[in-house]
Every structure is written in C-alpha cells, then in structure tokens.
Structure 1
Amino acid sequence: MALEEDLSCPVCTELFREPVLLSCGHSYCRGCITDHWTTSRSRSCPVCRQLSPHEPLSNLSLRNACETYLKERRSGKKKDEGLLCHIHGEKVQLFCQTDELPICAECKKHDHSYHKTQTLQQTVRLRKGKLKAALRPIERTLSSLQNGTAQDAKVLKYIQSQTQKTEQKLKEQFKKLHQFLKKDEESRIAALNKEEKGKREKMERRMKGRIQSLSDMIREVEEEIKDDDISFLQNYNSIMNRIEHTDLDPGLCSETLIDVSKHLENLKYTVWEKMKDICPYYPMTLNPNTVAPCFSVSDDLTTVTSCVPQNDPNPLYSNRMVLGNVGYGDGIHTFKIEVGNSRHWTLGVCLEPLSPEDSCWGLRRNGDLYCLLTSQIMFKMNTNPEVVRVKIEDENHLWGRGCRKVSFFDARTNCNFAKITGVPSGKKIFPFVIPEKRSCPLRLVPADVTLTIEQNLSFQERHRGWIDICVWFVFCLYLIFFLKSDTQSK
C-alpha cells in the first residue's frame, strides 16, 4: 500500500495518469493540475502553494514506475485467480496423477475420490526435478560443443586434416605427372635436336662439297682462259660444254627437311598411351572414409595394409571393413583383388550402411583354410589364388528370382572355387576388403584399357563378304543355267 500511495496523485488520490512535474518538485496528473489551475485561476501548487510560471514537464520516470506497478498488480491477480478451482472456487492444492489435472479438495471428494493424488507442491517439485535431470544431457552436450570436446568438433578437425592431407597428395600426384611430362618433353626435344643436327651436318657437307666443286671449276676455267690463243680455241668447246652441263641446283627432296609429322603426329595420344603405364585405370577404388584406425590406404586409394593404429582416426567410422567407392546394382559386375602370398584376408560385398545382421557376403582365408561368411564349412584348395576375381550377377533360375549370386574365381586359371547365392537384389552392394595380417597388403587390380579407332570405310569395303557371296551365287546360277541349256540342245 505504501508504494501505491507514493504513486498516487495528491489531487485525485489515484495512480498517476500522464504525470507532470512542477517547478517546485511536486507531481500531479496532467488533467488534475490543469483543472485545479482553471478553478483557482492561479498557477500555484496545491501542496506547497508555490507558483509555477512555466509549463509543467512530463515526468517519464514516474509514468514508467506506474506502468510497471500496474503490470505486476495485474499478473498477481491472474496468479491468484489461477490457484482457484474454476468449478468450486476453492484453492487448488492437489494434483490428480490419474487424470493429470490440478484439483481442489472438493474435486477430490467428488470426481477424483478413487484417483491417485498428491499435493500440488510435491508434484511441482518432483516434475521440476525430472525436467532438470532431462536437461543435464543437453547441458553436457552444449558444454562439450562450447568447449570443443563434442564429436562435431572432432569431425571439424578431421575435415581440416583430410583437406591438408588430400591437398598434399594431390600435389605429389601432379608432381609425378609433371615429372613424366617434363621427361618425355626433354626426350622428344632431344630427338628433334638429334635429327636437326644430323640433317644440318649433312647439308653443311653438301654445301661444302658444292663450294669446293664450283671453286675448282672456276679456277680451272680461269687457268685455261690464260692459255695461248690456239690452245684456248682448241679447248673452248670442251670448256663451254663443261660449264653448260654443270648442275648449279641439284635439288633437294623432302627428306632433307625435319620430319615434323614424326614429332607432332598424334602427340597427345602418343603421350597418353605412354602414360597408361604410370596411370592405370581402376574401375573401383577404396573409400578412405571407411578406413579404420588400424589400416592405412595408399595415396592412389588402391592398396590397404594393416598397421599400427593411427593418431588421427576417423571419428565417424570404426568398422574393420574397408569399402569400395562404387556400389553395384543389379546386373553383372566384376572386380579383382590381388592377395599375393597373404594367408590371412577377408573380402566380399556388403550393404551400406552396414546393418548388424545378414549384411555381408564374403570369403575368408585363415592359413590354409577357406570359409564363406555365410557358413561355417571350411575347405582347402590345391592351389591358392594370388588374385581373386569376384563376380556379382543376377540369379536367373526360378527359385532364385529377385536374388543375386556372388562368385569367387582364381583370376589366373579362371577356376570358380566358391559362390554365395541368395544375395538380395534391389539395393546397391559395396565391395569390401580386410587385410588380416600386417606387411601383407591387399591391392586392387587395374582394368585393361583398350582404344577403338573408328574408320570410315566405303560401301564395298564394309560389305565385301556379302558382295563376294552374291557374286558366287550369281555365277553358280549362270553355270547351272548354261549346263541345262547345253544338255537340252544335245
């Protein structure tokens, strides 16, 4: 009440409405002080009687205080009203756990007599505790995000590390290509310079020989011109004949020039063909994002080796299977894995993402024994394959409709030594490898790249076989007709 009195106008004794401040320091409602001055015909303060020659100023601080007080009083009333039962008008002190409703004592007696209830304060206390407990994992997650210890931060750090390592590997790979191209360029320029040197020396010898020959002729003719008149006239015709038959320009063939075609013909293709030896094509490579910390993958993503766990592991993948980067759908697909002399390895296909059961179809070697992942039957082989070819194909027989078959071959002998049927179709399956022993890597085998050159052949060249058959057919008909006519004439 004391606060409400301090916020009340001395004239109307109610809360200030548009309070104004007089020069004497007292405050009034703007309407109240205006009416007072109109009635008294004097601009004096109703409290201290001091005159106010100037217009009163708005008291913003007092107005804000009044508005805040009114808001708090309204919210207090609503709170008090909310604690009363809207049916019986009594204070709500209980909570019905059966109906999840706050109730009063009268509600408990009538509508909730057999329901489980507890005091409202106890319910609020318990449920606030549950909410705080439920918030703790969220608070811990928020704290780990803010402190940089959450998985998101680890992934971000790993992405940065991946970028740096990949950039370094890119530079190394392109450095090798640049070195190859530089070496090939130097070799070709050296061959060009060698040809230029040979043909230049040949031309220099030719020019030197012609200079010597022409100089000798000129000297001989000049000496014969100096002979006495009788001798000169006697030799004149032979001298003139020699001069006239001197070949001043013996001519040069195109072989004298640099064979530019030899150096530039299909240059890019020729370089590319040589690069195939250092740039093999792999239809499938390994996915480095599926490499566990205990494995390492080569820079070209074709070889995986078991090793000591790395210091910068992938935070999103911990499975021991290293997957290929290509998923195979329905149809026929093959890939080759070089296992070498390793006696411990596993390879095959799997679904991705991996499910905990019925998701892998592969072959494992453990020493001299082999077994399929889908069975526990062990078997031996007379000759252990060094390269395993895996073939995925649809099963076309009736009972296998809608399934696929995975077969394992010795790539050297093309012998099919194991197969798995009933692999589900309709989903992509990914190759996987697991090197089970250190220092025994598993390698992908590159594909054989062939180039088909299209040639524009004439009609006769394209259909020579059919033309020959037609000619022989016509000749046989003519021969039969001729023999028949000859027989009838006899």
Structure 2
Amino acid sequence: MSAANYLLTEEQLWCCICLDVFTDPVTLPCGHNFCRSCIIQHLNTDPQRQCPLCKEPVEKKYKLGVNTFISEMAVQFRHWKSHQLLGSVGEAAESMCTEHDKPLQLYCKLEQRPICQSCAASHHRYHQVVLLEDEYKEKQTILGSTEAKIQEMIWQRQLKLKELKHSVELSEEVMDGKMADGVQIFTTLIQFLEKAQVDLIRMAEEKQRVRKQRAQSIIVELEQEIFQLMRRRVEVEQLLQCKDRLHFLQSFPSVNAAPPTRDWMDLNICPVRYEALTRTAMISAVNQMTELVRNEMKKLQDEEILDIRKYAAEVTLDSETAHPALVLSDDGKQVHCGEAWKTPAKNLKRLKPVIYVLGKQSFSCGRFHYDVQVKGKTDWTIGVAKGSVKRKEETELNPENGYWALHLRDGNEYIALGSRAIPLSVNYHLEKVRIFVDYEEGVVSFYDADAAILLYSFPECSFTETLYPFLSPGNCDGGRNSDPLIILTANTT
C-alpha cells in the first residue's frame, strides 16, 4: 500500500502555503487548491488578491466552498499514514495465535481464518488446512480477477454513458429538423393554424423536456455507479499492495465484493421521433381547415405511408409459445388450427388455453411493422403483446392485459379489441393487414397493406416492456377457416 494508490498523490494533497496535507481544501477559479484558512489569510493580506501559484486574481465575491472530493481524499491519506505508522508495531502481535502463542502460518479453508500448527493438530484436525502463504497467493489471484471485472464494468458503463449523452444530443437535432418542417407548413396557414402551431411547439418542447429529464436521471445514476466502482477499485488496488497477510485476508471478503450496481446492458437508447406531433396539431384544428389544409394533410399521410415501409421487420413464429392446437410451417411463417391437439412437453412459454402463438422477435424501442396475409379466412386475431402476458389462463385480449389487436369474426365483422370491442367500418374482405408500432410514440396502427388505408390506431399506449408479434388463426370451423395466416417476407411486401 502506498500514497500512489490514491486517486491523488501526496504532492497533490499538499498545501503550498502551510506545507502540510490539506485541511478543508478549497479550489480557486484557476484550479489550484489550498487549505481554506491558509488561502483566506493570504488573500486578506495580499492587496491584489492573487493566487500564490499562478498570480491569477481572485474576486472578492468568489465563494470559497470546501472541495468535498479532495477533502475526503486528504482524510483517507491521513488515515493511511497513521495506519502505516501503527502497522509495524501491531504486526508482530497480530501474527501470533492468541490461544497457543505460536506463529499463524496455516489457514483453515473451512472456517476461513489463519491458524497455527497446534490449532491444525487439535480442533482443525479434520478441516482442509493449507499454508497461509499459499492461501494469500490464491486470494490475491482472485482479487486480481475481481479488479479486472470491476474495470470492465466501469468501461461498459462509461461507454453506455457516452451513448446516452450522444442520444440526447441527437434527439435535439432531430427535433430541430422536424420542427422546421412543421413550421414551414404553418407559415402558409398562419390565420387558420396559429393556435395549432403554438400547441405543436409546446408539445415538442414538453416531450424533449421529459426525455432529457429521464436521460439526465440515468446519467446521474451511471456517474454515481462509476464513482462507486472507481472507489472500490482504489480499495482493491490498495489491498493488492498490502504485504500484511493477515490484514489482507481479513479485508478480502468486504473488498472482493463489487458494490451493488444495476445491469445497464439492456438499456436501449433510441432517438425520439417527432413526426406525429405535427399530425396531431393539424388534426386539433381540423374544423377551421380549408381545402388547402386538407391537401397538406393528404401530403403528410402519403409521406407517412412511404416512411412506414422503411421499418419492415422479419418476423417468424416461436413454436415454443404455440398452443397445442396450432400447426406451424417449418419456416415459421404460417400457422393454422389443426383438427387434433398435440401433446407437447411442458413449457412455461407456451400459451394455453388461448389459441395463438407469439413471434420469436421482440421489440423494445424504435419503429417496426410486419404484414400478415388473412385472405380466405373467417376468423383471426393479430397484433402485438407484452412479453409478460399471462400464458396459462383465459385472458381478455385488450390493452389493459397487454394486447393490442385486430379481430375478424363471422367472416365480415372487423373489430379493434380495445377496453371495449370497437366495430370498424370495413365493408370489404381484407387480404393483407399491416401491423405498425412506434414504441417511443406509444402507437399501434393497423393498415390495409394493399390499399395503404389506416384501419385503426391505438394511441397513447405508453410501452415500458418488450413487445412480441402475436397471431391467432381461429378454430377450423369445420374446414371453413382452415386457411393459414401467413407472415409475409419483409423485402417482398
């Protein structure tokens, strides 16, 4: 153990005025540090109020607050110096067995403590006993590995912190660009849409404020974890330098354990999108809109349909979640209800008693869509579901239970499964349905994939966990509903 093991060296903890370790250290605007009493006395006697080292002036209004970080390091350094002086005195006494007054040269693996030869021959006779030196080397190797793991954890969190800060900057750039597009539209409609324009800016700024506030909270938590891990690394480094075997082994359990941290690797950092804000603001003013406004809305809708196509996801079905009555194709793209139920092995992932299946792919950020061919069927249900939905009991399919779905019954009755069944005005037979999800915006929309017509949207979903595609082909109905649901390949639709 040495002073070099601290984050600051002995020289950096030294006040150049009193030539001693800092007491209540303060930092001047120039960055130099001094004891608070020393620098106050110096500034009071110096007419020009200059830093003793660099001569930079210090204004009278500058508040000399104690630098708590350097103060804590100075306290630790004093403690270390005291321990260094007392260590050599107590080392000889601590290395002797208090019961037999013999050197502690052995180590009991069972009781995890040093022992002497007499201890080993008596009440430790049937325990695993090794040389103290061998145990010291083994534990030192383990602690070295712990240090490497902690360093890896620090690196991973620093990387995640960098990604998160970049995401905040990127979201601000995206907001600026999208807001410019929205404002350009409203400049031609200022008399009709002034209120909508104000609402648009307010909603965008509020969304960014909430996003930035959440990100800042995570940043603070990450920085705190990094600081705690760095402190633990210092403790590990100090202990690795310790030559006092007994002190080393006594301190090992507490120092070897990494401080409690959160698993940040599943944290997804996705850019916030603002397109929907412009659409929402325009819809709020629809009663005041002229033919020109309707034309602008048509343009935005056309752009959105084109934009959705960029987010096609390749989806396949997960046979481990399929109800026993369902039959899946080998490629996981088709599903229909069989005439006889299978008896599969017990599986906690399997859905029962509801006759449907989940997709293998999961989504927890961004946008995605997948298309399903429903041609020739009289009954089906398709949509997305939370990964935490109840799988072993009858559950009503609605957003409250983690489902956002569209349902066909009796061959011609299309229903959105909200908190209550919502009949849709669809007077023709759909052949392909597109399910589109914007995770950050909290929107699930269903489209006629052929005609690019919106069938229904679930707004304000506020997703907080992973989503999975889910499909139910319905019962065979005596062969009238035997055609499969087919998930279309993303690059061909």
Structure 1-normalised TM-score? 0.33
Alignment TM-score, normalising by the size of structure 2: 0.33
Greater RCO, CA 8 A, separation 6+: 2
Structure 1 or 2, whichever has the larger Rg, is: 1
